[in-house]
Amino acid sequence: MKRRHFLQYGAAWGAALALTGGAVAQTGNAARVALTIEPADVEMIDGVSVFMLLFFGPNGARPVLRATEGDVITLTVRNNDARTHGFAIPGVAGATIGAIQPGRERSATFTAPRGGTYLYIDPTLAPVNRLLGLHGAFVVAPRHPATPVGVVTPFSRDAQTTNVRTLFEALGASERFPGHRWTPDRERVWMFSQTDPALNVRVDAGATIDPRTVVANFAPRYFTLNGRSGFDSSHDPATRASGYIGEPLLLRVLNAGLATHSPHIHGNHVMELSGVGPDGAQVVRDNTLERDSWTMAPFDRKDMLLPFERPPDIPPAAYPMRQEQFPLRYPMHCHIEMSQTAGGGNYPQGLITDWEILGPSPPAGG
């Protein structure tokens, strides 16, 4: 067994997240993924060290796994913890590994599903191990992402609804959305999770946990976004959305925890593009409503479009502004009040981040 990792909150933790990388090494239509399950002590925003269990890939903890629709993926998970674990991607056929004994590894081979955003977890003793940190994002690129007129979207052509096609065809080609079309590099993964240190301490001490009692007794003291919170998530370039007006960005939002969140973005409304059905499969919305805030229940996965349009509270006659200069910075925060704190009251060190508008239009040639 390896000794447990220590992940310092700040630069070291940010490097470990590898949010813009992937642990899938692709060769044609075949891919191999290698993960390990490791115990770790993680320093939180208030300096408190909390025991966690994490998936590690080649670039660090909680890697974003990436593949293309239809790829045949062989995934191997090694358990370097002293407890039995497993692996699953809910809603993806064959992407399940049963009991992995301590010091052992097991594999599964499955086909990457329809393009979209998925959650991978350890389902053992659900929801215990997921809450301890054993979760991550699995992003699948569509193999045929274009609409019939050739505009790229995040979804496979056979899954695109009329409203989604209309929206993406309007981006960069309409009065409301001048600028550029959406491109696949314009995205952020936002993983919400919560930590109740009392549960983590009990698991670390070897206590027997009855998973049926966890939901009723769960009392989170930390609310995180990609493993960070407060000041650190606001200044994390892998989390913070950034761009010029006319550069739409896709937010792949997932909630691995037990608390329901209500993210709210200042400066722009967002469009809800997809959600998750009762069977865990992705559902592309027929009606792409603009959202001032939206609901993220436990286990939710939603793709949201941040359009990077001119903020509507700036009158057209006063734009571009002369007094308030670019970049314009706006917060994203959760409307569930308790989530804005850390450690039982440290405000605003909870589930927040920033997004920024760098200028009125993309640079020429950019």
In the chain, % of residues over pLDDT 90: 83
- DSSP states of 138-151: EEEE-SS-B-TTS-
Say whether pLDDT at 25 is over 60.
Answer: no
- Which residues are 119's β-sheet partners? 137
User: Residues spanned by CATH 2.60.40.420 within the chain?
Assistant: 5-98+107-141, 157-189+219-357
pLDDT of amino acid 20: 32
Residue 282's alpha-carbon distances to 29, 90, 115, in angstroms, are: 22, 11, 9
Please, what is the Cα angle at 38 between 303 and 99, to 5 degrees?
85
Q: Rounded CA gap, 302 and 251, in Å?
A: 8
What is the gyration radius of the CA atoms in the chain, in angstroms? 20
Please, what is the Cα angle at 350 between 349 and 354, to 5 degrees?
80
- Confidence bin at 314 (pLDDT 50/70/90): confident
DSSP 179: S
Joined together, the tokens standing for residue 69 give 């629709």
Best CATH choice for the domain 157-189+219-357 from the list 3.30.450.270, 2.60.40.420, 1.20.1440.130, 3.10.129.10: 2.60.40.420
Q: Rounded CA gap, 2 and 174, in Å?
A: 56
Tens-place pLDDT, residues 208-259:
999 999 999 999 999 999 999 999 999 999 999 999 999 999 999 999 999 9
- Reported CATH class of domain 5-98+107-141: mainly beta
- Which residues are 76's β-sheet partners? 34, 107
pLDDT of amino acid 11: 35
β pairing state of 222-225 and 187-195: antiparallel
Average pLDDT value for residue range 323-335: 94
Say whether pLDDT at 150 is over 90.
Answer: yes
Tens-place pLDDT, residues 123-145:
999 999 999 999 999 999 999 99
Average pLDDT value for residue range 286-303: 95
Mean pLDDT (the chain, rounded): 91
| Side-by-side strand order, sheet with 116-121 | 65-68, 135-141, 116-121, 85-88, 96-100
Q: Rounded CA gap, 226 and 288, in Å?
A: 26
* H-helix segments, the chain: 11-17, 128-131, 162-170, 197-204, 214-217, 230-234
Of 298, 308, 190, 191, residue with least CA distance to 251: 190
- Confidence bin at 6 (pLDDT 50/70/90): confident
β pairing state of 135-141 and 65-68: parallel
